[in-house]
Amino acid sequence: MYRNSPARVAEDTPDTPPAPSRAAMSRPTMPRMRVSVPTMALLLLNLGSCTEPNPYLGICGNGVHEPSFEEECDDGAGNGDAAACSMTCRIATCGDGIAQPDLDEDCDLGDQNSNNGSCTLDCKFALCGDDFVQPGEVCDDGNANRWPADGQPGCSIYCAPLPYCGDGDVQPDLGEECDDANDIDDDACTSDCKATTCGDGEVQGSEECDDGNDVDTDGCTNACTFAVCGDGIVLGGTEECDDGNDVNSDDCLNVCFLASCGDGVLHEGVEECDDGNLIDDDGCNSACMRDRTVFVSDIDYEAPMGGLDGADDLCKTQAAIHDLPDPGRYKAWLSDSTGSPSTRFVTRTARYVSTVGATVADNWDDLTDGELTSPIMHTADGELIDNVLVWTATTPAGESIGDDLDCADWTMGTEDLFTIYGGTSAVDSWWTQLPAQSDCYDLGHLMCFED
């Protein structure tokens, strides 16, 4: 190496220039050059390699890539945290903890990088649409994210699940009427999120049937229930009626057939009896009218009986004393100016029988045709009373005799008043109208009819 020496200065004459040295006289003068730091470092390395060890060897930042010193790079003054070569002579990479914009890094958290975190493994900020589910996101299908919702499962561009039929939330905008989060078609909500409706042809929910029509009288009603007797709907070809109740004594039986005489069920308000057949002489006739009991009183009464009502009361008393059913239904076969059997009795189709079961007449018309089947000569307890007179003042047709032959409307019993008797032994017209008049002073029995 060369060492510079200070110029010698003339001691005697300051204006005299110094004599040149031998070296100066023997080489030409060279201009001075400016050398860059990297070049200088390289010169030093070269000089040192020729003479003595270079003190700059192995120093990161000397601008020389020295793999033997475990350097990955060395850009000298270009080294830096944001440069391609770091201050520690390491090549900048994603994951080194230093964000390198030159390397197109958005971030770098080192070993904290995560595809599920705020900085991904490729040093990109977490974004909806990057195909990774990160904090604040429920889903992320990357490029498959879509909007608007189309009713199918998927992930929206907002990284939230797309609404779809089956997610359990009703989406009216998607045409959903319901959403029970399943794909079962036979419950209350179909797999296409439509509320089950009776008549859609699918048996669903609480439906028993669904024939897809609006015919209410076939096997499946419009309420999607099986047609049954008692549902209030008449099933065509099977039911005659259906009143929707379990009352068996009205117009429609509990088997959904119209009530009729002979069906064995008493039709209240219409039938008096129903013995399940149409036989006329068995106590309940073919019109379901029960027999009417007829008897003659076992007591003979004076004419003043208190009018027709008074006479009726005498019959009721007789029936009650002898324990006949419904004693209040009995009336006297008696006429006056106020009424007669033809106006006071119900003209029934029922049979009239004695207390011993003998047929007196088959019905009202038979009773009033002028001839009985058998005479009325048995009392309420079945005792036979033959050949007694009965107060009547009534024609065989059940009408009033008239002509004031009624003992002053059955209020007086004097010899100057007259009436007409009937006889208990007769079956012809004499049973109610004997040919001769009698005065009202006498006594007479009563014929009592169950009305």
Cβ atoms within 10 A of the Cβ of 140, count?
19
Per DSSP, 390 falls in state E
The low-confidence residues of the chain, meaning pLDDT below 50, are: 1-50
Q: Is residue 212 part of a domain?
A: no
- Name the nearest CA neighbour of 125 among 155, 145, 104, 141: 104
Q: Are 301 and 446 in contact (CB under 8 A)?
A: yes
Instruction: Give me 448's structure tokens.
Output: 């009592």
d(CA 421, CA 423): 7
**Domain limits at 367?**
292-450
Q: Is residue 226 part of a domain?
A: no
Residue 316: what are its φ and ψ, rounded to 5°?
Answer: -60, -40
CA dihedral 128, 132, 136, 137 (to 10 degrees): 70
Residue 352: what are its φ and ψ, rounded to 5°?
Answer: -105, 125
Q: Is residue 251 part of a domain?
A: no
Q: What pLDDT was estimated at residue 52?
A: 56
If one counts the domains in the chain, the total is 1
Residue type, 322: H
Buried-state track 30-65, b at ≥16 Cβ within 10 A, e below 16: eeeeeeeebeebbeeeeeeeeeeebeebebbbbbbe
CATH of the domain at 422: 3.10.100.10
Q: Is residue 370 part of a domain?
A: yes
Beta bridge partners of 419: 406, 438
- In the chain, the N- to C-terminal Cα span, in Å, equals 164
Q: Is residue 365 part of a domain?
A: yes
d(CA 291, CA 282): 9
pTM here is: 0.53
- Name the nearest CA neighbour of 408 among 309, 305, 327: 305
155-162: long-range contacts (C-beta < 8 A, 24 or more apart)? 157/128, 157/129, 158/128, 159/128, 159/129, 159/133
Q: CB-based burial of residue 226 (10 Å sphere; 0-12 exposed, 13-18 middle, 19+ buried)?
A: exposed
For CA atoms 407, 410, 415, 418, give the dihedral sign: positive
Q: Is residue 153 part of a domain?
A: no
Q: What pLDDT was estimated at residue 57?
A: 64
Q: What pLDDT was estimated at residue 39?
A: 47
d(CA 345, CA 325): 18
Q: Is residue 208 part of a domain?
A: no
Pick left, alpha or beta for residue 210 (phi over 0 → left; psi -120 to 50 → alpha; otherwise beta).
beta
Q: What pLDDT was estimated at residue 54?
A: 56
Q: Is residue 55 part of a domain?
A: no
Does an H or E element contain 294, and which? strand 292-296
Instruction: Give me 14's structure tokens.
Output: 């300051």
